[in-house]
Amino acid sequence: MNKYKIAVLDDYQNVALESADWQVLRDRADIAEFQDHVADPDALIERLLPFDVVCVMREADSAAPPASLSAFPNLKLIASTGAGNASIDMAAARDGGIAVVYTGIGRIRRSIYVGADPGLRAKLS
């Protein structure tokens, strides 16, 4: 079984992996945490190209530029902290078959436990 590749972006406080029990995913996913912010769209595309799931921090505004979502052939899910994220082009995500989920107020863990949601589980199959 291939492991999913999960990127956690802009975790400048280095708290994302401590804010939830990510251990449940260790057998099914490789998780990469990036503390630095990449503003250059081409560099961001290069960084995220291999990932299936991208977790973004709402206040960091690090979602890929709308025109570039099609540049991510492996991307199946964008999970964002907060109740919404204006930097994510929902139409581009929908057109690309990329699910977008939010944590609401608080932790990213609610979004990342995709095994509990059959619709997301189907997208990641």
Q: Which of 22, 19, 107 is nearest to 58 (CA)?
A: 107
Q: What is the pLDDT of residue 122?
A: 53
Q: What is the pLDDT of residue 116?
A: 41
Q: What is the pLDDT of residue 120?
A: 52
- Secondary structure class of 8 (helix, strand, coil): strand
> Phi/psi at 48 (nearest 5 deg)?
-90, -5
Q: Which of 109, 122, 123 is nearest to 24 (CA)?
A: 109
The amino acid that residue 19 corresponds to is: S
Question: How far apart are the C-alpha atoms of 123 and 53, rounded to whole Å?
Answer: 11
Please work out, in degrees rounded to the nearest 5, the angle formed at the alpha carbon of residue 88 by the alpha carbons of 86 and 91: 110
Q: Residue 46 CA to chain centroid, in angstroms?
A: 15
Q: What is the pLDDT of residue 99?
A: 92
Cβ pair 58, 81 in contact under 8 A = yes
Radius of gyration of the chain (CA): 13
Residue ranges of the chain with per-residue pLDDT less than 70: 1, 58-67, 104-125
